[in-house]
Amino acid sequence: MNKQIIFPKNLEKGDTIAVCAPSSGVEEQLHKYIRDAKRNVELAGYQVVIGDTVWKNEKCVSASKEIRAAELQQFLLDDRVNAIIPPWGGEFLMEILPLLDWEKIRTSTPKWILGYSDISTFIFAYTLLTGIASAHGNNFFDLSAYNLDSLTERWVDVISTRSGGTVSQTSSQLHQSFWRDDPNQGFQLDTQTVWKSIDSTDSIQFSGRLLGGCLDTISVLLGTPYAPVSQFVEDYCKDSGVVWYLESCEMNAADIYRRLWQMKMNGWFEHTNGIVIGRPAGYSDSKDFTIVDALHQIFDDMDIPVIYDADIGHIPPQMILVNGAKAKVSYVKGNGNVDLIFN
């Protein structure tokens, strides 16, 4: 019998959301959008506390690793805080992981942490080391938009779901091909969304416990104490199996293949029932070697179904996925659906 994942208390109106920058902070010319996001979230009925790290960025980080770790841990241990949503990702979150008191975090009141890109470095480790569910999706900066698209607006629905509940998300109709100059206008959804299967199957279904994040950053944790994937799967997933979700930023096809190969060689894909790959950002083929070639070379001999170009990651909009939750993934002729089950 596997251990039970711990789901943080569902977010309710009046609860407090903390914003801190454990990776990169926000340059002065963009401070307006953090204030706009704070206004929008408060108008939706929540209290917002913004940490000191948010307002500065130098050499790719908001502050020293010691200061970033201390502020994040302060919010994690503060029972007045119900959720943490960083402003955005960055580059070097991994360096704060050894500075956190993981025993205190493990035994503190669980709270929702939501983010993606380099923030997935933390939420990946957080769930693996504590057994507490975490949410991969929009960051706080995205909430500065006057109107949210139909996927981004689900951030509230997901982290407001009670333990034992279910929330369903359907693939977008359109996604963004370029970034607007004004984040207040929201995402520029101008390109048809088509989820794809690497074997061209019209219909696929699989289920399991979700695990994943940004391939660029979580793969850095391979071989460190902060990514005990095999032990986590043994403890929490052997009964249900695993559904991996992965997305990439600034990686070409060869980079993606190398990272996936590392993960495979380290046993990360054992007991896997399915793979969902997000639309790759900053991507290029490596001569005639493509991302589809990479996916075939990694997964064909494992007989694992693989969906790609899904609504995950740096080419918005994206679904809100939950590390540790059970998921039922359905794919039919270019469209996808993910049911999250909080048990």
Give the residue numbers annotated as catalytic, written as ranges.
Answer: 117, 247, 314
Q: Which helix (H) or strand (E) is 31 found in, with range? A: helix 31-43
Q: Are 66 and 2 in contact (CB under 8 A)?
A: no
- CA 270 → CA 10, 170, 180, 229, distances in Å? 31, 27, 40, 10
Nearest by Cα to 86 from 96, 45, 299: 96
Sorted by sequence, the CB contacts under 8 Å of residue 31 that are 6+ apart come out as: 55
25 and 87 Cβ atoms separated by less than 8 Å? yes
User: What is the spatial distance between Cα 297 and Cα 292, in angstroms, rounded to a whole number?
Assistant: 9
35, 122, 27, 37: which is closest to 71 by C-alpha? 122
Question: What is the C-alpha to C-alpha distance for residues 325 and 322, in angstroms, rounded to an integer?
Answer: 6
